[in-house]
């Protein structure tokens, strides 16, 4: 995917640090994290005005209580069925109810990736059955979320373009508020080409969340270009960035003001998912490689380091 220099500059000119902070889900999902770290994440989110603190469901009561004690306006996002997504629908529903009951204001659930792939690799009734299964899986979470926005993590690195489109459609049908790229634990993070595909599929009806590997202002701006390139979309209800590097993104944004040269056009292959295919299932990898071979920018690949 090519992102023209001028377009990036135009996106950057529209942004200020506060606005970008308001789009960030300040995320801490590591399994070994301690309470003092969780509280520190909450303090940071409050100070910078991030949209939410995003944690595993076990931490929701603590985060909710702590933010409330600070009279903070920061939301609490809980992941559900994280990070593999292959829990039963009932267990996802229970985890959602539990999180909402403990103070979660948003839910980030992982789609049943295997069922999506089962759907596309089968046909007829079996394919339809899998589609319904996925829709019901999301629907159950939406139902238990009791009106709180549900973001559906597609784990795009495991999916072909067709599967990403279909997963977006199913999410919308099931009542989700957002589609989200990745868990950060899968084969790849947020790539502009996937974000654009998701945005093109859900239009302005749903939000799109970029998650995984977004660490600085330039990466954030590329994501915004791909998924929120209009004033109507550049708001917390329609676009988010999930990252543990929110402070670095906001701090580094200051540099963008002082030179246009940050926005040189990137070599297309460097921001292409084909850079991260090593952990994909073989069938998916084959699709990506085939696509790469017919890509108009394929010439770059002849030079190994671009």
Partner 1 sequence: MYGWAGKILRIDLDREKVSSHPLTKEQAELFLGGRGLGAEILFRELPRGTNPLSPENKMIFATGPLTGTGAPTSGRYSVTTRSPLTGTVFDSNSGGHFGVQLKRSGWDAVVLEGRAERPSYVWIRDDAVEVRNADHIWGSNTHATEDKIKSETDKDAKVACIGPAGERQVLISSIINDKHRAAGRGGVGAVMGSKNLKAIAVLGSQEPTTANQEEFTAAGRSSLEAISKNPVTKDSLPNYGTAVLMNIMNEIGALPTFNFQRGFFEDADAISGETIRERILEKRVACDACTIACGRATKIPGKDRQGEGPEYETVWALGAACGVGDLEAITEASYLCNEYGLDTISTGSTVACAMELFSAGHLSGGPKFGDAQAIVDYVKLIGERSGIGNELAEGSLRFARKHGHPECSMSVKGLEMPAYDPRGIQGMGLAYATSNRGACHLRAYMTSVEVLGNPALIDRFKIDGKASLTILLQNIAAATDSMVLCRFSQFAMNPDHYARLLQAVTGVPFTARDLISIGERICNLERAFNAREGFSRKDDSLPRRLLETPLPEGHSKNMTVALDPMLDEYYRLRGWTSNGVPTASTLSEMKLYDASKQIAEKYAV
Catalytic center residues: 108, 180, 209
CB of 72 to partner 1, least distance (A): 17
* Pair of tokens at residue 215: 């660490």
CB of 246 to partner 1, least distance (A): 9
C-beta of 205 vs 304, nearer to partner 1: 304
Nearest to partner 1 of 43, 161 (CB atom) = 43
d(CA 58, CA 66) in angstroms, rounded, equals 14
Beta carbon of residue 213, minimum distance to partner 1 (angstroms, whole number): 11
Question: Least CB distance from residue 195 to partner 1, whole Å?
Answer: 18
Rank residues 125 and 305 by Cβ distance to partner 1 and give the closer one: 305
Q: Please report how close the Cβ of residue 100 comes to partner 1 at its closest, in angstroms.
A: 30
Q: Which residues bind partner 1 (CB under 8 A)?
A: 44, 47, 215-219, 245, 247-248, 251-252, 254-255, 257-267, 270, 304-306
């Amino acid at each position: 995917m090519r992102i023209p220099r001028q377009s990036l500059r135009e996106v950057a000119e529209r942004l200020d640090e506060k606005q970008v902070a308001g789009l960030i889900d300040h995320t801490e999902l590591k399994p070994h994290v301690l309470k003092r770290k969780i509280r520190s994440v909450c303090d940071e989110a409050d100070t910078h005005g991030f949209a939410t603190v995003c944690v595993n469901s076990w931490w929701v009561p603590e985060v909710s209580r702590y933010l409330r004690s600070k009279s903070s306006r920061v939301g609490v996002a809980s992941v559900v069925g994280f990070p593999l997504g292959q829990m039963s629908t009932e267990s996802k529903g229970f985890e959602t109810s539990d999180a909402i009951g403990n103070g979660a204001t948003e839910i980030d659930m992982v789609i049943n990736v295997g069922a999506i792939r089962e759907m596309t690799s089968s046909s007829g009734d079996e394919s339809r059955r899998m589609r319904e299964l996925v829709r019901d899986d999301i629907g159950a979470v939406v139902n238990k979320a009791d009106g709180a926005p549900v973001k559906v993590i597609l784990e795009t690195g495991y999916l072909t373009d067709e599967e990403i489109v279909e997963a977006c459609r199913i999410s919308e049908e099931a009542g989700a508020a957002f589609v989200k790229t990745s868990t950060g634990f899968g084969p790849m993070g947020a790539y502009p080409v996937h974000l654009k595909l998701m945005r093109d599929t859900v239009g302005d009806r749903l939000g799109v969340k970029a998650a995984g590997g977004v660490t600085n202002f330039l990466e954030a701006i590329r994501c915004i270009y791909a998924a929120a390139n209009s004033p109507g979309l550049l708001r917390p209800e329609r676009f988010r960035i999930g990252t543990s590097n929110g402070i670095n993104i906001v701090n580094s944004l200051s540099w963008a003001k002082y030179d246009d040269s940050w926005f040189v056009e990137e070599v297309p292959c460097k921001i292409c998912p084909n850079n991260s295919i090593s952990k994909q299932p073989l069938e998916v990898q084959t699709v990506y490689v085939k696509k790469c071979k017919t890509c108009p920018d394929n010439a770059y690949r002849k030079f190994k380091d671009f």
